Structure 1
């Protein structure tokens, strides 16, 4: 009996230590937290049972107070437990009660740390009283200002602004007064600052002592409109990797991004953050509820983070305008059940109040009533943007008629792609919360890889737009907690197999998928090229904080069409810089020739039917693959196999039930 209890203790102790490490350092998700706490209950009950079992006391005296010869022999034959074995395994020591309780204490501490990560932020920081202000979408003449103020004694809230260079009190312009705030919007309100000047630095002030700054975008057609910088990322979770000494709402990735932006020259500082989903994780590390109140509390906790006030020469993170798309963890993992099924309505409530209200306008042709649209479009300088919603309207994946966009959004996107842009706009940038590439072999059906028919229709429209409109299309995405750069060559280019080898720069639509801004990454390899449709350019899985800086400017460059002599051409250049843990590790450049027929003239020399030059790697400081990469790839393959087996079994089960 005692031996069975020791087996239970050994297994439960190993589970506590393994899954606590995974939960606190690798993946802060279900079911690792409950496994740790359940294992502790088993471990402690087995320990106390073993301790109180008379049969376990091998030196128990006889009735006469003397030890029998058999007992002495038994004790002599027992192996002597080493201190190291006891401390590493969690098994009790037969000789030292101190070692037994020390190793037990290790397991208790690990469980307490797990509990702390699970509930400290939830219990001690409900954030009901958080008050903040931030800037959302900014145009040449307007800026959307969102604020939250739960203290009704401070009403009405007066909103004012002035040019930052002006210090005179009489220059403040009163934009509006908010007389009412209530629980219907979780005490939030959005005010649009109007009649602003393009390319101008402003300050704003609220009568509840909230202040901030922003810069308006350039006037279309002006020299300043030829340049634009912005950052993009996705996915953030406070206090991960877990640190007991850290504030439970601290988001290290926001602080690293703020510091990195502050080091940039003023000309390169971003105009906004394009955040591509998973701003909150309602189901990580554990879902405590699915009501509107639960979802609202997650947004309030994120906006309560002290990381927003971390400052650099560029200001704080809230001085950077943020615009948002929606993804699954703001609703439920791998959400694909539409916008009417619970818990979507509850999840959409705070997303609308905290993010949609300050986002850019809906497209000119939404093909749906504007009040029911959660996809957006805008122009800033040399680029036009379309921000997709790949969650609200999607159906079940991997079917002939599967849709990730829904009919109205798909038609709106196709209309956007076929519409010529104004003079000076050379880039169409499509933002998606999930990757377009199917090169991620695990969870592929949750991405565009599960909607390949619709993806093909969208790609054909994009290739046609590049050929006919003379613009370049860039795809930006997040979700995967890894970085992957992928290109999708237009079949009309007739590229050779050598030009479509993995890990090569070259022709095609380009996607840059990046995340997390502050979250976990997996120590496995799950991204690889399997055909000539999705050509791998670069893969960077490691790093708890990753974001991309996109800089667009004009310059004279040598267009490097393969097989031709370099030709200096004035071009619009897009440089993508990948930041990992606050440092630039990789840069890639694309260009659009600006001289009339310049690209076509060069293309004629090679016979390639494209006026768009291939991409070029500018910088690559990523660590070369080490000895552990084959093992990580093997783990990735095993995970792929596991998902495949589970998928097949689930499909067979559904067929049997049918």
Structure 2
């Protein structure tokens, strides 16, 4: 065989491997630059490759050895007897398949097949790269619910007008849904805000409906200014307000958390608007009416001294094992509460993956329009309120703001604010993206980990992730919720733990060790702190142990991606830190003189950070958190990890009882609630309270 034959075969094989990695494993932004080069590396030697015409199954024999169909044909000026077998042999088929797989071109037929396959591979890569650019989604119309409080709801609307218009208005109409689920609302629509949509804001507006009742179901529609329905949405969008935090009794609800999403990955043909992670999520949430619950057998342990079993253990028991452990199996229907909202922890768009089309306002906005135009996402955002924070890929990879709003941040922040930020809760300071909110007795602080972070060129001792103003707001929030909230959730787009290796040592909190240590020192004094993070395209549950036995443990749950890559066979998380804290534990020591065990207290080393669970696999992951603080003496947090639509891990965290200051006085609770009720009907109680 000639040099061109082997060169073309090797280049073709390498090209296909890179294509597979790009389309199915990791859509790295540098790959589109090299793909055409490898395609040319295959194509150029192919042009110099001369193959015989259809010689795959042609054999030239002497007449006495021939046993097939004989043809007397001219070859190089002589007439030669050529024998064509009646059909190819099985080995010939196999060799042809192998040649086609590796791009080897032994004859013209295989040459054409190889060219077709490689060209289709290149076209598929071009589709992944340029489909976001050509899918402008300029006509996408949508509405969704954002921040909810006990008496208000934020609504986002995008309704582009006819091409001849440069301004339009949309009227929000809302009403209460009857408490009887079988009843159909016949109440008149109440006029909500009139939204003015302008081209400068990409035809997007966010309004707030006020004057609502706590823990109540509502619905809304979009209408023209003359109150005639717009035609979209086809059915009213429903939502439920949050409970009044002044009313005692605790909370029992679910919420989701995830991050990192790019449409149509892993790539599939003609699926440019598909986001499979949201398809899985819609099935998980809405395929059955919420709450969707399987019945489970809760075992009762024979040992009278241990009459309980964790939910994780009960789920792991098969029927035969359960029968051995229980006295009388008890069938119980475990009813999950409804899912109230989702936290999306960043990388909602990938402005720079697989290709960065530049620091342009329209390009950033187009990325958001494209996602909202996805039928997969529409199935979720029309039914579930969503709250957002941003990370680097909403701007550019590994972005460090350095408190200097220049470069891509201006246009990226503009698009984020229009589509996501305005629907979040009001920022703690005007013009910022960090915010806090509550659901009953559960508190949340959502950080901005990009805008104010120092560069890696700064001294490690002085680096900051949050900046001085955000740090002040955070410490103020932490002091406020210490004894006024049962669970405290801190939302950071990048992992807080330092156990991730590789680039996470610079891009996560590991690169800001001094500020992290100061935060941990404060967090260990507060009960029931849970950190939610994403970014790493893997799942990990981490425990942080404080310096003393009285320190409150802190936990981190890191979950991603919803629809992005993970790298097979690559593991980037250490099992525990190299720093330890001292603890004392009692160990049994046999006593030969008595039948009783003696215990000795010994000092042990406990990792400051350690992994509770690590799962790297899965392109589509999210975490479901079920919060139950209805029993103040035993607050619980149930974690369920869902991978590719299937539950993959469960864990129950038992919190520390918290005596809530805000609920300590029944009189103040009643008077505050009564004042709210009187105010709603127009009565000002004045000095009565």
| Bin for the TM-score computed over the shorter chain | 0.7 to 0.9
Match of residue 325, structure 1, among 389, 393, 397: 389
Distance (whole Å) between structure 2 residues aligned to residue 225 and residue 164 of structure 1 = 24
Q: Mind listing any 5+ residue stretches in structure 2 that lack a counterpart? A: 53-74, 80-91, 224-229, 293-335, 579-606, 661-689
Deviations 1:272-318 (A, max 9, x none): 111100000011111122200100000000000011343xxxxx432
Asked if 1 retains the 8 angstrom alpha-carbon contact of 2:277 and 2:563, the reply is: yes
Distance (whole Å) between structure 1 residues aligned to residue 129 and residue 375 of structure 2 = 19
Distance (whole Å) between structure 2 residues aligned to residue 64 and residue 318 of structure 1 = 73
Match of 1:401 in 2: 462
Match of 1:194 in 2: 210
Deviations 1:569-618 (A, max 9, x none): 83111111111111222122223343869xxxxxxxxxxxxxxxxxxxxx
Residue 555 of structure 2 is aligned to residue 510 of structure 1? yes
Asked if 1 retains the 8 angstrom alpha-carbon contact of 2:389 and 2:493, the reply is: yes
Match of residue 240, structure 1, among 252, 262, 265: 265
Distance (whole Å) between structure 1 residues aligned to residue 463 and residue 394 of structure 2 = 22
Aligned length: 535
CA drift of 1:8 comes to: 3.6
Match of 1:618 in 2: none
Match of 1:219 in 2: 244
Distance (whole Å) between structure 2 residues aligned to residue 595 and residue 156 of structure 1 = 48
- Coordinate RMSD, CA, aligned: 2.9
Residue 169 of structure 2 is aligned to residue 156 of structure 1? yes
Match of residue 220, structure 2, among 179, 204, 208: 204
CA drift of 1:90 comes to: 1.3
Distance (whole Å) between structure 2 residues aligned to residue 406 and residue 570 of structure 1 = 37
CA drift of 1:268 comes to: 2.2
Deviations 1:97-136 (A, max 9, x none): 112222232222211221222223432x210111110110
Match of residue 532, structure 2, among 446, 455, 476: 476
Residue 363 of structure 2 is aligned to residue 294 of structure 1? yes
CA drift of 1:48 comes to: 1.4
Match of 1:358 in 2: 423
Asked if 2 retains the 8 angstrom alpha-carbon contact of 1:552 and 1:574, the reply is: yes
Distance (whole Å) between structure 2 residues aligned to residue 592 and residue 52 of structure 1 = 74
CA drift of 1:84 comes to: 4.3
Match of residue 533, structure 1, among 582, 592, 608: 608
Asked if 2 retains the 8 angstrom alpha-carbon contact of 1:249 and 1:302, the reply is: yes
Greater CA deviation, 35-44 or 344-353? 35-44
Asked if 1 retains the 8 angstrom alpha-carbon contact of 2:27 and 2:354, the reply is: yes
Greater CA deviation, 103-112 or 167-176? 167-176
Match of residue 518, structure 2, among 452, 457, 461: 457
Deviations 1:26-71 (A, max 9, x none): 1122222333332112312221133499xxxxxxxxx99579xxxx
Asked if 2 retains the 8 angstrom alpha-carbon contact of 1:238 and 1:302, the reply is: yes
CA drift of 1:225 comes to: 4.7
Deviations 1:126-164 (A, max 9, x none): 101111101100000000001111115693211111112
Match of 1:135 in 2: 145
Alignment of 1:8-157 (within 5 A): 8-51=7-50, 65=77, 82-93=95-106, 96-123=107-134, 125-151=135-161, 155-157=168-170
Residue 280 of structure 2 is aligned to residue 280 of structure 1? no
Greater CA deviation, 260-269 or 191-200? 260-269
CA 1:550 to 1:168, structure 2 compared with 1: closer, same or farther past 3 Å? Answer: closer
Distance (whole Å) between structure 2 residues aligned to residue 265 and residue 308 of structure 1 = 21
Match of residue 197, structure 2, among 157, 166, 181: 181
CA 1:472 to 1:442, structure 2 compared with 1: closer, same or farther past 3 Å? Answer: same
Match of residue 544, structure 2, among 488, 491, 503: 488
Deviations 1:216-241 (A, max 9, x none): 00011335652232110001111111
Distance (whole Å) between structure 2 residues aligned to residue 331 and residue 126 of structure 1 = 19
CA 1:571 to 1:494, structure 2 compared with 1: closer, same or farther past 3 Å? Answer: closer
SS at match of 1:486: strand
CA 1:593 to 1:511, structure 2 compared with 1: closer, same or farther past 3 Å? Answer: closer
Asked if 1 retains the 8 angstrom alpha-carbon contact of 2:401 and 2:453, the reply is: yes
Asked if 1 retains the 8 angstrom alpha-carbon contact of 2:565 and 2:619, the reply is: yes
Match of residue 291, structure 2, among 256, 265, 273: 265
Distance (whole Å) between structure 2 residues aligned to residue 294 and residue 12 of structure 1 = 35
Distance (whole Å) between structure 2 residues aligned to residue 100 and residue 28 of structure 1 = 29
Give 1 or 2: higher strand fraction.
2
Distance (whole Å) between structure 1 residues aligned to residue 361 and residue 191 of structure 2 = 34
Match of residue 567, structure 2, among 499, 522, 526: 522
List structure 1 runs of 4+ shifted beyond 6 angstroms.
none
Alignment of 1:308-457 (within 5 A): 308-310=377-379, 316-338=380-402, 339-363=404-428, 370-397=429-456, 399-421=460-482, 423=484, 425-444=485-504, 445-457=506-518
Distance (whole Å) between structure 2 residues aligned to residue 512 and residue 519 of structure 1 = 18
Asked if 2 retains the 8 angstrom alpha-carbon contact of 1:437 and 1:449, the reply is: yes
CA 1:307 to 1:85, structure 2 compared with 1: closer, same or farther past 3 Å? Answer: closer
